[in-house]
Amino acid sequence: MPDLLARILLLVPLLLSLTVHEWAHAISAYRLGDDTAEREGRMTLNPIVHIDPIGTLLLPLLGVPFGWAKPVPVNPARFRRSVSMRLGMVLTSAAGPGSNVLLSLLGAVVFGLLLRFAPSIVMPGTAGFALCKDVVLVNIALAVFNVLPIPPLDGGRIVDGFVPPRWEDAWHRYCSVSPFVLAAVLILPGFFGIGVLSWPIGMLWQAAQQVTIAVATL
């Protein structure tokens, strides 16, 4: 029961983070001239419209350490003429993990403010402590994971916008096997007990802790 309760509590920051992530994609595309997401009701912070039953609810409740929301539709052909489709896709793709970086920073600042002005709320072992920690960690993990240069992740779309013509054939061959690369990243660390993402996530978590301490001791 405690494990299940912890997983349910984790859904709160996860759903918030995934919702903001998808909204950031939608609003970025809209500002570049593509209103596809807006017309389909996806340019919203209402989490219900972004929920994927498996990626957002089932897997996290089963204890799987990752998740996803329904991808926001983007049509680069609708970008303004002043923005190339490749640049537009880079900017739109980067908006998702960028929003998670900002959320993790905001979470670290709020954590520090609570430590300073209402420490009883975020004492270790309390729900407030777990929630603040999860908000920061979930967003760091989402940002790091999504910038991996593996299509269809955001990082893959970002790289696609910068691939020079002479490397396009090799890139397309890589894209054809990218599902297997993504599966290896997700599955192999579990077998060997090490995570390829643990180092960057750990470094960013330490940086977030320093922000929290700085705010709490101002």
The model's pTM is 0.92
Average pLDDT rounded to a whole number, residues 66-78? 91
Q: What is the mean pLDDT of residues 72-80?
A: 96
Query: Of all residues in the chain, what percent carry a pLDDT higher than 70?
Result: 94
Top pLDDT among 159 and 218 is at 159
Question: Looking at residue 28, what is its pLDDT?
Answer: 97
Q: Name the more confident of 74 and 193.
A: 74
Give the per-residue pLDDT at 91: 97
pLDDT attached to residue 65:
61
Instruction: Using alpha carbons, select from 159, 151, 138, 160 the residue that is nearest to residue 182.
Output: 151
- pLDDT of residue 195 exceeding 80: no
Query: What does the pLDDT read at residue 42?
Result: 96
pLDDT exceeds cutoff 90 at 137: yes
The mean per-residue pLDDT over the stretch 62-84 comes to: 88
Query: How sure is the predictor about 67, in pLDDT bands with cuts at 50, 70 and 90?
Result: confident
Domain segments of the chain as ranges: 2-216
pLDDT band at 187; cut points 50, 70, 90? confident
User: Which pLDDT value is given to residue 184?
Assistant: 80
| Marked catalytic residue, from 22, 38, 40, 168 | 22
The pLDDT value given to residue 192: 44
pLDDT at residue 2 is higher than 70: no
Q: What is the pLDDT of residue 193?
A: 43
Q: What is the pLDDT of residues 115-133, one digit of tens each?
A: 999 999 999 988 899 899 9
pLDDT at residue number 189: 58
**pLDDT for position 1:** 45
22 labelled catalytic: yes
- pLDDT for 191 beyond 60: no
